[in-house]
Amino acid sequence: MYNDRINEFSDRFDRARKVFLLTLGPAGSTFLQSCFDSNPHILMVPTVFKANDIFNKIKNMSTGDMASFISDKSTLKYIFHNKKTLKLGDFSKYQISRNVFSEEFGKYWKRGVRNEKRFLESVHYAFMMATGKILYDFNTIFVHFHTGQDVPQLLNDYPDAKWLSIVRNPIAMFYSNFVRYKTYRGRSFGYDYCWMKALLSIRGTMNYTTNISELEKDRHFIIKNEELNNNPEGVIKDIAKKIGIDFDDNLLSSTIGGVPYVSTSPLNKGIRGASKKIMEPKHKKELSEKDILYLETFYKKDLEIYRYNFESRADFNKEHMYRYKIGNKSLLYKIKFIIRCLGQPNNDEMLLLDDDRTVLQAIIERHIILKKISKMSGDGFIKVLLTVYFLINSIKINKKLRKDVNANIKIITMDKKPKDIIQSPSKYLVSA
């Protein structure tokens, strides 16, 4: 019986159309997903599911440990633990069995080639069985994977899949993240840090579309958040037609896991479904004209690609931009900013000045020498030094300085093994 059920599911999964939803920042992807949640012919995990990212973390675990990680440590944990989340939905009354999920995941996972494709299938099969909603007539798999790291593998595994990318005016996305970072779990990160983090996080996500931008127009569809909220019925009808499913009025009922989806973002808290209120230019209440000029210059390419109107000339001088938001800040802030810039897809656009790297290295080297002479101690210095170490590694210059840093790590870490710190740096690096 189990074998027949697994084989039937596998055949139907292969035949079903695949739809992958990619978001380019806080652009309303969960709301868009919620419009397809109640369709009985769509099989989906009702939350962000970073399948390949999870797979790479757990592929060498035992089957039982894999299932436990999914239910306890992945983004699906909120579903299994019946949590009401800040941004993914309310699963407090969601009906799902962790034991059934673990059992069914193991049965499916063991019966095929254990790769990314099998993992995606196994989770959907186990999820379906664990909810008791055993679908034999689904014809569409809908996956909201949120970020671009999964794109290359999914393109390879599902060459005929449909892709949805939801976009939003990057200035509005910046401001949404800026406010979220300022209010994150009641902590205050400071104005400058929130600005930096919001600025660079948006620029990075906007670039993930490069992997799918060359797809045929009948396979990759860009949806504007503003149009979705202004004309939800028209946009959803268009999406349904493009991905090949029948339109039904239930697609206009915004739910996640069968529960009405209610926005929990700091800017639009409590909004149900589509709303023109979301399109209000709230950033104008806090950002100056100079700030908007800065942002529109920084995001100019994205504004042009997605055909958004400009509020300014978007011609802020790069050096003046640097002085305005970076140059007058502390050394540690500059280090953080440069580290984040180096991790961006297009770091040549990230306001880095040639002289700045040289000056930073000179100051860093002086601090290392002072440390060696004075034999000072303290975890704070260790964190700064290790942060600098990875900055220098990223720049990939000045080998002598890297050797000095390595030598000092051995001196100042005392009971911590340098190798362990280098392999697991995150808990030692400078935090927000």
- The domain ranges of the chain are 2-278, 332-423
DSSP label of 96: -
Q: Give the tokens for residue 115.
A: 């790769």
Residue 353 has a CB neighbour count (10 Å cut-off) of 14
Three-state DSSP state, 29: helix
The pLDDT value recorded for residue 249 is 85
Of residues 4, 15, 14, the one with CA closest to residue 111: 4
Three-state DSSP state, 8: helix
- Tens place of pLDDT for every residue, the chain, 432 residues? 557 888 889 999 999 999 999 887 788 888 899 999 888 889 999 988 988 889 999 999 999 999 999 999 998 999 999 888 766 777 888 899 999 999 999 999 998 788 999 999 999 999 999 998 777 678 999 999 876 777 888 888 998 899 998 999 999 999 988 888 887 655 556 788 888 888 887 765 555 555 565 566 678 888 999 999 999 999 999 999 999 888 888 888 888 887 788 776 766 676 776 777 777 888 888 899 999 999 999 899 889 988 999 999 999 988 888 888 887 777 667 767 765 665 565 544 556 555 555 555 555 555 555 555 444 445 555 555 555 555 555 544 455 555 555 555 454 444 444 444 444 444 444 443
The pLDDT value recorded for residue 426 is 44
The pLDDT value recorded for residue 290 is 95
The pLDDT value recorded for residue 351 is 63
> At CA 118, angle to CA 112 and CA 123, rounded to 5?
120
User: What is d(CA 88, CA 265) in angstroms, rounded to the nearest whole number?
Assistant: 10
CB burial class (10 A; 0-12, 13-18, 19+) of residue 315? exposed
Identify the H or E element spanning 172. helix 170-182
Of residues 264, 299, 267, the one with CA closest to residue 283: 267
User: What is d(CA 50, CA 75) in angstroms, rounded to the nearest whole number?
Assistant: 8
User: What is d(CA 37, CA 256) in angstroms, rounded to the nearest whole number?
Assistant: 6
Q: What angle separates helix 331-342 from helix 354-374, to the nearest 10 degrees?
A: 120
Q: Compute φ and ψ for 43, nearest 5 degrees.
A: -100, 120
**CATH 3.40.50 for the 2-278 domain, yes or no:** yes
User: What is d(CA 66, CA 58) in angstroms, rounded to the nearest whole number?
Assistant: 6
The pLDDT value recorded for residue 92 is 84
Q: What angle separates helix 191-206 from helix 170-182, to the nearest 10 degrees?
A: 140
Of residues 294, 329, 323, the one with CA closest to residue 311: 294
The pLDDT value recorded for residue 397 is 45
User: What is d(CA 206, CA 170) in angstroms, rounded to the nearest whole number?
Assistant: 9
The pLDDT value recorded for residue 262 is 76
**Percentages helix, strand, coil for the chain, rounded to the nearest 5?**
55, 10, 35
The pLDDT value recorded for residue 374 is 44
The pLDDT value recorded for residue 413 is 43
The pLDDT value recorded for residue 419 is 45
